[in-house]
Structure formats: structure tokens, C-alpha cells
Amino acid sequence: MAFKLIQCDVLIIGAGGAGLRAAIEAKETFRKGKIVLVTKGSLGKSGVTATACSDRMAFHATLPYTEPATSENWRYHAEDIYRIGGYVSDGDLAMILAKESQSAMEYLDRLGVPFVRKEDGRIDQFITDGSEYARACYTGPRTANHIEEALLKKVASMDIRIIEHCMIADLIKYRGRVIGAIGIDEKEGSKIKDRVKIFSSKAIILATGGAGEVFETHVFPEGMTGDGYALAYRAGAELVNMEFIQIGPASVKTKLNCSGSLMRAVPRFLNEKGEEFLRNYFPKGISSVEIGNLIFEKGASWPISLDKRTHLIDVAMFKEIAQGHRVFLDYGTNPEGFRFERLDAKWQQRYASEVKNPIPFEQRVSSPLDRLSEINPESIEWLKEHGIDLRSGERIEIAPCIQHFQGGVKIREKGNASIKGLYAAGECAGGQHGANRPGGNALLDGQVFGKISGHEAAMEVMHLEQKPKISSSRLDQFLSKLNRMKDGGKASQIRKSLQSITSLHASVVRTPEGLRKGLKHLEALRREGLSIDEKGYVYALETENLLDVAEMVMRACLARKESRGPHLFFNRFDDLCPLPSQDPSWRKYIVIQNESGKMVLKKEKPVSLNFS
């Protein structure tokens, strides 16, 4: 059967921060080369970089004047990435990230990203969760969007072919090397065979971002279904650290992360009956003062981590929801027994440093809403614009939400995956981050490994011949696979079911029994099969990818028999405390690979951080 063939030297899949940076560098390296960038959705409107915002989005960089201002200050940055990552990332990749952060930041600055500067012209930097020194550069709540816009402008000025609204559904391999990909046009309705595009490429860079949609509640935009993880897995590439996922409380209605001042105002945590529930899940004897301090502290440790005691709040919230309740933040009344003046002195100081709209002390101590209006009045207005009026007594419904995948397609120092011709960058890649990813380093890693993978892929293919030809049987295979997607559960039903399985068993509280149960349910879903429903082909193919990703996440969770970073592993669901980390035996990462259709997991030793 004839098919549309698009030939290129380097194919980049995904047009977020990582994909755009990779495309620019591939073209700059191989000026005569054909570089094609393909993306799901509209350019500049899909994916996380183009759409995500938060209080103040951070881009980490060690600049010559970043504290401690020595010529080797990047080493502290590398150490933070490695240490906060729980020693389960590759130390050499942490060094690359830290060393290259200055030039990555300066490149964006030259492209016109409006980073905030101090009066002396230097870039303003602040401290984000976990890091020792202030490295976070920012433009405001839309730092990522500004990066996307600047990179897009640059791409538009170059001879790079862009194909929008095309989902890459599979990679094509020949003798162990990736040689192409199959894409499907997102326009539902027209004949399926006319919608299929075959790409023949000497090298491919996966920059497809993370997989928020594996879970019921997340802060990702639509369409983030971990396609790159599934494509790489099916092609036989290694993946790593898939159990490490950033999770924290966010508004179900607006997807706003409830961190920073929203916690530092110390609201009540209520269920739908108006009952305060935190204490029911906390260790016995915890005082109201300690609970108030924990809520305040949660403002500075949004993602769950074993080493932050604030994870008790996430566990309580998760268990309350698992009991069938809904959970709300209430700003009308102080938590039971809370007295502002009994907050730790360091938190009172922190509070004082954030006051924007000073109010009398009697008012400050009287309600969380008064405090929020004192330290972050904009958030009250923002929530009102988005349908939650705190002043009229409305509450924010929250749930543990997924924000970032630390793991992904295992890369090495050239951004290269474990199979020839394949590269990965950004959130799709893994190994550069460990259990936790320090705030600001995700946007950074997309730029650093976007650039590196673009350069290395272009260098690799420059003198490579374009062969072999892709045979039409590959298209036939794909079409017959689509044809088979007629029996079985409707894709939307399967997606809903798998999301509830992962959310119950692989989110905040992970237990051996729950994970085994979850994997059994997942297996039953697979056996049932998946059929294309009214949502169309792309939705069904994404759902198939989600099944693969869900299985990788749950198998990795079950294999790691300890807690580390956001992976809280409990012997039993009712246990109050997670198991401790096991060092040194678990200073290892879990590598996942598809070996002849079987998901194989191996425990391996990461490359250590070594400055010598």
C-alpha cells in the first residue's frame, strides 16, 4: 500500500522546551541536514512548557555570582541534584546539568526570555525546595511559557520543518537501530489510511514530556500520556526511575498547586462533612502546635518526600480520600487549637518577610483568610477569577496531584538512549534526576539535554546513509493493529479504570499488597482488550501507552522495597509511618526493559558523583 513518507536526518518528537532546543541545535550543527519537528496538538499550545504556570516558576542556573561565588560553584549545584535525588541518579549527568546551566540560561536570555533582574543588572535568583543556594531564575508565574515562546521564535526563523497535530504512535527499528516512526494525524473523521504518516529518519529524539494522565488527579495539560516512555519501551530501550514521581496537593477544579502562601496562611483541612481529619492519621499524641507548624512548613515542601515530615499531611489527605471522602482547604476559621503566636519563631520570621498588605495583629491571628490577604492577596483574586471565592466562604477542593516524572528513557551523557539512533531529552528522559528533582531543574534539564541530544544526533547522522527503506508492510501492520482495536473495553472506560488503579495503589501510599492487586487489575484490563470509541484513534493509542506506563510505574514501585524521595513504601495500608530508606543496598536504580514482550526489571548501580 502506498503511504506518505517524510524523510529526514533528525526527527524530533515533541515541541516543548526540550524538543525545541533539540531542533535548534540539530539544525545549527548540521546546517544542510533535514530536521523535522513533529508534535501532538498545536505548536506553542500543547505540552507542559507551553502551558504550565505556578506561583513563581523556576529555572535553575549556577551563574558566576551565584552563591557560593567561587569558580567551582557549579559543584554545589551538582551535589544538590545528586543528594536531593537520593543518590539514585547518574552523578556524571548531574555534573553536566550543573556545569551547562550557565550557558543554557544565557542562551535563553539572549533569545529574549524576560528574566527578572536586580538593580545592578544581575539576574535575580531565589532558593527553591531542597537546594542549598539561591539558583532559581524566573520571569514570574509563566517562566516556562516565556521559554517556549522564545524558542519557538528562534525555530520559526530556521529551516526546520514543523508538523503539528500528529501523534507518533510507534518507532520503527531495523537491525537494532531506530530508523523511523509512524505518525497519525489527529483530525478524526477522514479515512484512517490517509491519516497515517511514515517518517524515515537517521536519528530520533524523544522529547514527549511526562505522563500525568496515568493518574486521576494531576496538574498536567491534556494529552500528556507518556507516549515517549511507551514508544521507547516497545522499541526495547531501557527506562529508569519510573517509580519516582512528584506529587503534591493541588486544587481539583483549577489545578493550582496549593503550596507557598496557601499553606503558610495555615488553613483547615476538612472533609465534605466539615470535619478536620489530619489528626486521625497522624502519630498519636501530636499536638495542635505541631500540626500548625507542619501545615506552615508544607508551604515550602510541596512535593512529598520521605525526608520532609510534612509528608504526614499528604498521607492523611490520601487516606481520607481513599475512605471515600472529599478533601478541602478552608480559610474561614483557624485549625482546631491553632494559635498563630505559637508557630515556631523561624516560621513567624518567614511569615513576616512575606507580608505585603500589613494588617493589625488581632486580625492576623483571627483567620487564615486574613493571613492570606496579608501575604498573598493576588492568590485570592486569582482563585475568584477561576471560580473559587474564598471571601464568600468557598473552600478549595484538593487532592494529591502528579506534577513531574523524575524517571524516563535512560540516557547517557550524549542524551543517547540504550538503542542506536535514539535520544531523549526533557521530562521524557531519565537518569539525570534521582528520587527527587530539585525545583527549577526540570526546565533546566530540557535545555541542557535538548541541546546536547540535538548536537549529538546531528553529529552522528551527518555521514550516515539513509537506508534501509521502510517497507509498506510496516504500514499494513499498523493498520491491522488499529483494525484489531474493535473488541474489548472502550478506550475511555479503560483509561478511567487504569487511572483509578494507579491513583489508589501507586500514588502517595504504596504497599506490596496494594501494588500486587493493582497489577492484577491492570493485567485483567489488558486481557479485556481496548476498543476505539467516540474519542477516536489517537485517544485509543494514547490509552494503550498509558497501560504500558502504568505497568512500568507499578512494577518499579513494587520492586523498590524501601522508601526514598516521593516513594513512600508501607508494609500495610494502615501503618502510620513508611518504611525507612535502605542504604547502601538500595542506592540503586531500577532499570526496565522489554525483553521479547516481557517487562524485565533490574537493580543497577548508578554512576557516582566524582569530581576528580
Ligand X SMILES: Cc1cc2nc3c(=O)[nH]c(=O)nc-3n(C[C@H](O)[C@H](O)[C@H](O)COP(=O)(O)OP(=O)(O)OC[C@H]3O[C@@H](n4cnc5c(N)ncnc54)[C@H](O)[C@@H]3O)c2cc1C
Point out which span in 9-17, 67-75, 283-291, 298-306 binds ligand X (CB under 6 A): 9-17
Q: Does 249 bind ligand X (CB under 6 A)?
A: no
| Residue from the set 93, 94, 105, 144 that interacts with ligand X by CB under 6 A | 144
Q: How far apart are CA 234 and CA 478, in angstroms?
A: 14
**Per-position DSSP letters for 464-501, written without gaps between them:** ----SPPPTHHHHHHHHHHHHTTSSEEHHHHHHHHHHH
Q: Does 247 bind ligand X (CB under 6 A)?
A: no
At residue 540, the 3 state secondary structure works out as helix
Cβ proximity to ligand X: between 260 and 335 the closer is 260
Q: Which amino acid is at 457?
A: A
How near is the Cβ of 223 to ligand X at its closest, in Å?
6
Q: What distances in angstroms separate CA 601 from CA 333, 545, 557, 560, one per listed residue?
A: 49, 18, 11, 11
Q: How far apart are CA 68 and CA 79, in angstroms?
A: 13
| Residue from the set 6, 8, 12, 16 that interacts with ligand X by CB under 6 A | 16
Which residues contact residue 126 at a Cβ distance below 8 angstroms, ignoring those fewer than 6 apart?
Answer: 56, 58, 134, 136, 138
Point out which span in 32-40, 150-158, 317-325, 340-348 binds ligand X (CB under 6 A): 32-40
Cβ proximity to ligand X: between 242 and 343 the closer is 242
How near is the Cβ of 271 to ligand X at its closest, in Å?
25
Cβ proximity to ligand X: between 19 and 299 the closer is 19
Cβ proximity to ligand X: between 230 and 519 the closer is 230
Site size toward ligand X (CB under 6 A) is: 40
Strands 327-330 and 161-163: unpaired
* CA 449 from centroid of its chain's CA atoms: 16
| Half-sphere exposure in the Cβ direction for 108 (13 Å, CA) | 34
Q: Does 291 bind ligand X (CB under 6 A)?
A: no
Q: What distances in angstroms separate CA 287 from CA 275, 278, 282, 312, 336, one per listed residue?
A: 17, 11, 10, 14, 10
Which residues contact residue 552 at a Cβ distance below 8 angstroms, ignoring those fewer than 6 apart?
Answer: 229, 233, 239, 242, 592, 599
Cβ proximity to ligand X: between 223 and 267 the closer is 223
Point out which span in 53-61, 75-83, 260-268, 389-397 binds ligand X (CB under 6 A): 53-61
* CA 191 from centroid of its chain's CA atoms: 35
Site string for ligand X, 381-420 (x = CB under 6 A): ----------------------xx----------------
What 8-state DSSP symbol labels residue 147? H
| 173 beta partners | 178
Site string for ligand X, 327-346 (x = CB under 6 A): --------------------
How near is the Cβ of 262 to ligand X at its closest, in Å?
14
Q: Does 15 bind ligand X (CB under 6 A)?
A: yes
Point out which span in 48-56, 70-78, 194-202, 389-397 binds ligand X (CB under 6 A): 48-56
How near is the Cβ of 254 to ligand X at its closest, in Å?
11
What 8-state DSSP symbol labels residue 25? H
| Residue from the set 49, 139, 406, 593 that interacts with ligand X by CB under 6 A | 49
Q: Does 427 bind ligand X (CB under 6 A)?
A: yes
* CA 384 from centroid of its chain's CA atoms: 27
Cβ proximity to ligand X: between 184 and 329 the closer is 184
Tell me the residue number closest to ligand X, measured at CB: 16
Q: Does 41 bind ligand X (CB under 6 A)?
A: yes
How near is the Cβ of 48 to ligand X at its closest, in Å?
3
| Residue from the set 6, 10, 12, 19 that interacts with ligand X by CB under 6 A | 19
Q: Does 52 bind ligand X (CB under 6 A)?
A: yes
Q: What distances in angstroms separate CA 105 from CA 101, 109, 441, one per listed residue?
A: 6, 6, 12
How near is the Cβ of 287 to ligand X at its closest, in Å?
34
Site string for ligand X, 484-503 (x = CB under 6 A): --------------------
Helix axes 512-528 and 537-559, enclosed angle (nearest 10):
150
Q: How far apart are CA 213 and CA 226, in angstroms?
A: 8
Q: How far apart are CA 264 and CA 301, in angstroms?
A: 11
**Per-position DSSP letters for 89-132, written without gaps between them:** S-HHHHHHHHHHHHHHHHHHHHHT----B-TTSPBP-B--TT-S
| Residue from the set 6, 10, 33, 46 that interacts with ligand X by CB under 6 A | 46
Q: How far apart are CA 339 and CA 75, in angstroms?
A: 42
Which residues, 216 to 245, sit near ligand X by CB under 6 A?
219-220, 223, 227
Cβ proximity to ligand X: between 161 and 561 the closer is 161
Site string for ligand X, 200-219 (x = CB under 6 A): -------xxx---------x
Neighbours of 69 (CB within 10 A): 11
Q: Does 168 bind ligand X (CB under 6 A)?
A: yes
How near is the Cβ of 38 to ligand X at its closest, in Å?
5
Quote the longest CA-to-CA distance of the chain: 78
Q: How far apart are CA 305 and CA 42, in angstroms?
A: 35
| Residue from the set 57, 84, 411, 419 that interacts with ligand X by CB under 6 A | 57
Q: Does 259 bind ligand X (CB under 6 A)?
A: no
Kindly list the residues in this chain that would bind ligand X in the complex (CB under 6 A).
13-19, 38-41, 46-49, 52, 54, 57-58, 144, 167-168, 207-209, 219-220, 223, 227, 403-404, 426-428, 439-443, 446
